Amino acid sequence: MNQPHTSTMTKKRNTPTADSAKNGKGGGENGITMAWQTILLGNVLTFQRGFDITKNEQSDGPFPVISSSGAKSSHTNFKVRGPGVIIGRKGSLGTVFFSDGDYWPHSTTLYVKDFHGNDPKFAYYFLQTMDFKRLDVGASNPSLNRNHIHPIPVLWPPLPTQKRIAGILSAYDDLIENCQRRISILENMARGLYREWFVHFRFPGHEGHPRVNSPLGEIPEGWEVRAFSAIAHYINGYAFKPRDWSADGLPIIKIKELKAGITADTPRNSGEGIPEKYRISDGCVLFSWSADLDTYLWAGGQGLLNQHLFNVVPFDAISLSYCFHALKESMPQFRALSIGATMHHIKRSALDQVFLALPPKQMRKSFEALVEPVHLQIINLTKHIQTLRRTRNVLLPRLLSGQIEVGEGEE
């Protein structure tokens, strides 16, 4: 799989000094083009607090309502014309979001009210390099004040350079988005096949196949009703403590890593003294039974499983691909059995209370033959996304600080 063409980028000899940039000098020896300058952030981007709106006041519509945790809902009206850049002001401090179209910035955010002629996409990437958490003024709930952001001195390039940098980084994001779309299509294909065969019972040769009564209602003759506890082992992860964390070794896979993947913040452990049953690899099926109640196909490579996650190990003659889709399809039933007021979790006993109609072995094997290549494509695409993100994240601070010069001929 290809990566964006970056031949127009050249590495600077030295990182620019703040003094030389502030004076608008420093070409040559300091390795910074004279066009870059140190300027107050508020002089290039003016921030404004978002607008109050409750869940009850929102009506599903075409305009995203962007809070400090992202675009989680929508509305029929908007407050700001796009494109726009939004950062988390309360709760999730300093998160950065981009909106191509018109949007409603929530009161838990700050949005860029005035770009002062600067490139919005460049501003989006630039703000990702800033450490806003150090400006937290909240006592119990993290909070960010725009008056503390505006006076920050930043090293800022001219508009043509902004556009070239944004173009390079956007190329990575476009490839990532393309891979994500392909993954979504593949997931829907596999899920649709599972539902067609094993939920609606429209498997090959279903015409004229007799049905029998069961505790689940009518099911095809020859199928068995089983609890999920009867089709697989569910190995809970190891109870790692902060004292077990280190900067080296295998990544410790927590709930966070299931969605964000392995990042620089992921703790690690050498694995010495950790039983083999807690090691996972690509293709493992992970069941998150606490907080984020869902099932995942792991594609992050070798790792050590943390508690609150089950590694699903099927019994003989039952494949991982079948288990994955069976669990995924039954998650609404598991969630209905969850307990806890704020932090929901599923008790192990729920595995004895949720049932499925298990098809004959030969039918499962036919399903697996069709679905396992799809899962392999999903894993490969997921790993490609991880590679693209790592490369982009390495380039991001270097491009945005002027350490890497972009070629003059590319917009």
Q: What is the pLDDT of residues 227-252, one digit of tens each?
A: 999 999 999 999 999 999 999 999 99
Domains defined for the chain, CATH in brackets: 37-155 (3.90.220.20), 180-373 (3.90.220.20)
Using only the alpha carbons of the chain, give its radius of gyration. 26
Q: CB within 8 A of 365, min separation 6: which ones? A: 319
Q: What are phi and psi of 168, to 5 degrees?
A: -65, -50
Task: Please identify every stretch of the chain with a pLDDT value under 70, giving residue numbers as ranges.
Answer: 1-3, 5-34, 136-140, 407-411
Which pLDDT does position 7 carry in this prediction?
46
* Beta-bridge mates of residue 11: 404
- Cα distances (angstroms) measured from residue 78 to each of 64, 83, 113, 161, 212: 8, 12, 14, 31, 54
Which pLDDT does position 267 carry in this prediction?
96
**Cα–Cα distance for residue pair 188/185, rounded to 1 Å:** 5
Which pLDDT does position 193 carry in this prediction?
98
- Could you tell me which of 270, 327, 273 has the C-alpha nearest to residue 303? 270
Amino acid at 409: G
Instruction: Please give the sequence-ordered ranges of beta strands (E in DSSP) within 195-248, or none if there are none.
Output: 211-212, 219-220, 224-227, 232-236
* Beta-bridge mates of residue 37: 156
Which pLDDT does position 34 carry in this prediction?
53
Which pLDDT does position 316 carry in this prediction?
84
- Could you tell me which of 296, 317, 314, 313 has the C-alpha nearest to residue 363? 317
**Cα–Cα distance for residue pair 323/232, rounded to 1 Å:** 8
User: Rounded to two decimals, what is the model's pTM?
Assistant: 0.85
Amino acid at 178: N
**Cα–Cα distance for residue pair 332/329, rounded to 1 Å:** 8
